[in-house]
């Protein structure tokens, strides 16, 4: 099997000076207006949409016409390379992969509770990735791309899991890593970043992180992997590509698409990546239907946008005492909103009390989850009670990270 259309030449990749992109890559496309762009190294999103006041992400577009989906799936099924088993649709050639054997995480059955009429669900257990979270898919792909393009230092803003993952994959690639965080970042996350050789920079608050990241990266020539503005867009497109592989694995294990997928969402890189993966499988003829996507959010930004028919999810007031920091952004993205509208999905805002109850439910099934990660279970339970999901539906909830990253949340829950 071979792909039929070559990607852009090296001169189209602004800001890097390294190898060519994967041959299947056509370029980037705005998720809102559909405008195409050559591959870019920045995370500012679509310039046209930003000028219109609706910042929107640019995500990768692959040339799939002429690809034999069945032959491709057969090739994938013979491999045992984790996420990089699907290398034909990832951003760098096989020889450019920076991998710690992430991916290949299982679906684990979560039994239905004894009381009530909630169905059992399948848990996509992303805790089993090398650093304990789904972020490893993003940073394997993003660091691979940065290293392939000749980067020496990568930089990002993070509240926790991304920081650890970026530091680990940077170490594997021999790159320097700088993490901009607030002083209240969890001790476990901070210590792990430093253990991997990453360097921490501290901002006075979350908003100042973007200013520091833009300024320092601009002055020092660092390659930025995350959003750089308070108004959310997306992280680097190449990293979002890594998240597609969750969809590929779900379909391969189930033998088809589930009826629904529930995902903890803050800005929604993973949410958008999984949806992109399902859409590619549909285009390749490997699935006949697409799942409904359910966004489990801490604050009702997406919920409000859906209810009021908005183009840009609005910023919401936050609970300063919330420990759900991994889904703690007060404003969702246009990118995540588009996923919901395209899939006929819904958003569920989760309270702190619901998250704590969900972590206890998961723990009693042997799955110790970070507080934010349990949001996917809250969303499934609420959707079942409202009638949006039925006991006949195959539902996959993504468990994004391990409880060990945030032990303080559970000391307070005792």
Q: Tell which residue, 327, 339, 331, 253, has the closest CA to residue 293.
A: 339
Boundary of a domain, candidates 174, 192, 224: 224
Task: Based on the fold, state whether residues 142 and 278 are members of the same structural domain.
Answer: no
Task: Identify the pLDDT of residue 412.
Answer: 54
Residue 230 counted as domain residue: no
Residue 69 counted as domain residue: yes
Task: Based on the fold, state whether residues 114 and 261 are members of the same structural domain.
Answer: yes
Task: Identify the pLDDT of residue 16.
Answer: 36
CATH number of the domain residue 341 falls in:
3.40.50.1100
Task: Identify the pLDDT of residue 20.
Answer: 56
Task: Based on the fold, state whether residues 259 and 377 are members of the same structural domain.
Answer: yes
Task: Based on the fold, state whether residues 147 and 177 are members of the same structural domain.
Answer: yes
Q: Which residues pair with 184 in a beta bridge?
A: none
Residue-number span of the structural domain to which 206 is assigned: 135-224
Task: Based on the fold, state whether residues 189 and 203 are members of the same structural domain.
Answer: yes
**Cα 279 from Cα 392, distance rounded (Å):** 23
Task: Identify the pLDDT of residue 131.
Answer: 97
Task: Identify the pLDDT of residue 29.
Answer: 97
**Cα 230 from Cα 232, distance rounded (Å):** 6
Residuewise pLDDT in 10s, the chain (414 residues):
222 222 332 223 333 345 555 668 889 999 999 999 999 988 999 999 999 999 999 999 999 998 999 999 999 999 999 999 999 999 999 999 999 999 999 999 987 665 555 666 899 999 999 999 999 999 999 999 999 999 999 999 988 899 999 999 999 999 999 999 999 888 899 999 999 999 999 998 888 888 999 999 999 999 999 988 878 899 999 999 999 999 999 999 999 999 999 999 999 999 999 999 999 999 999 999 999 999 999 999 999 999 999 999 999 999 988 888 888 889 999 999 999 999 999 999 999 999 999 999 999 999 999 999 999 999 999 999 898 998 789 999 999 999 988 776 666 554
Task: Based on the fold, state whether residues 126 and 176 are members of the same structural domain.
Answer: no
Task: Based on the fold, state whether residues 187 and 258 are members of the same structural domain.
Answer: no
Boundary of a domain, candidates 203, 224, 245: 224
Number of folded domains in the chain? 3
Residue 4 counted as domain residue: no
Task: Based on the fold, state whether residues 207 and 292 are members of the same structural domain.
Answer: no
Residue 14 counted as domain residue: yes
Task: Identify the pLDDT of residue 321.
Answer: 86
Task: Based on the fold, state whether residues 141 and 126 are members of the same structural domain.
Answer: no
Q: Do 311 and 7 form a contact (C-beta atoms < 8 A)?
A: no
Residue 2 counted as domain residue: no
Task: Based on the fold, state whether residues 266 and 323 are members of the same structural domain.
Answer: yes
Residue 231 counted as domain residue: no
56 burial (CB, 10 Å; 0-12 / 13-18 / 19+) is buried
Residue 382 counted as domain residue: yes
Task: Based on the fold, state whether residues 281 and 320 are members of the same structural domain.
Answer: yes
Task: Based on the fold, state whether residues 247 and 343 are members of the same structural domain.
Answer: yes
Residue 202 counted as domain residue: yes
């Amino acid at each position: 099997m071979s792909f039929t259309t070559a990607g852009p030449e090296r001169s189209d990749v602004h800001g890097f000076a390294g190898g060519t992109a994967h041959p299947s890559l056509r370029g980037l496309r705005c998720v809102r207006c559909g405008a195409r762009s050559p591959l870019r190294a920045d995370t500012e999103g679509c310039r046209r949409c930003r000028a219109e006041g609706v910042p929107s992400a640019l995500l990768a577009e692959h040339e799939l016409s002429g690809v034999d989906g069945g032959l491709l799936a057969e090739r994938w099924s013979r491999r045992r390379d984790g996420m990089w088993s699907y290398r034909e649709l990832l951003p760098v050639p096989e020889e450019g992969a920076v991998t710690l054997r992430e991916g290949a995480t299982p679906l684990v059955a979560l039994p239905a509770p004894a009381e009530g009429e909630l169905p059992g669900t399948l848990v996509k257990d992303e805790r089993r990735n090398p650093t304990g979270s789904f972020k490893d898919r993003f940073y394997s792909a993003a660091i691979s791309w940065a290293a392939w393009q000749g980067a020496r230092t990568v930089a990002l803003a993070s509240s926790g899991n991304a920081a650890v993952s970026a530091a680990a994959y940077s170490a594997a690639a021999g790159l320097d890593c700088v993490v901009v965080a607030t002083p209240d970042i969890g001790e476990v996350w901070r210590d792990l970043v430093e253990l991997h050789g990453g360097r921490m920079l501290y901002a006075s608050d979350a908003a100042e992180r973007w200013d520091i990241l833009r300024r320092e990266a601009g002055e020092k020539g660092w390659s930025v992997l995350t959003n750089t503005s308070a108004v959310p867009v997306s992280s680097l497109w190449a990293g979002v590509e890594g998240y597609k592989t969750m969809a590929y694995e779900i379909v391969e294990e189930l033998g088809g698409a589930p009826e629904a997928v529930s995902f903890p969402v803050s800005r929604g890189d993973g949410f958008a990546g999984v949806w992109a993966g399902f859409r590619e499988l549909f285009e390749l003829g490997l699935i006949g239907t697409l799942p409904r996507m359910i966004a489990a959010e801490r604050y009702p930004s997406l919920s409000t946008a859906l209810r009021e028919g908005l183009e840009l999810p609005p910023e919401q007031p936050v609970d300063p005492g919330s420990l759900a920091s991994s889904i703690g952004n007060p404003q969702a993205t246009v990118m995540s909103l588009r996923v919901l509208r395209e899939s006929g999905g819904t958003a569920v805002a989760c309270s702190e009390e619901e998250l704590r109850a969900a972590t206890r439910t998961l723990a009693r099934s042997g799955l110790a989850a970070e507080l934010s990660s349990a949001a996917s279970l809250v969303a499934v339970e609420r959707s079942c009670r409202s009638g949006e999901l039925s006991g006949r539906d195959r539902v996959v909830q993504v468990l994004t990270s391990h409880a060990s990253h945030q032990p303080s949340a559970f000391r307070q829950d005792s």
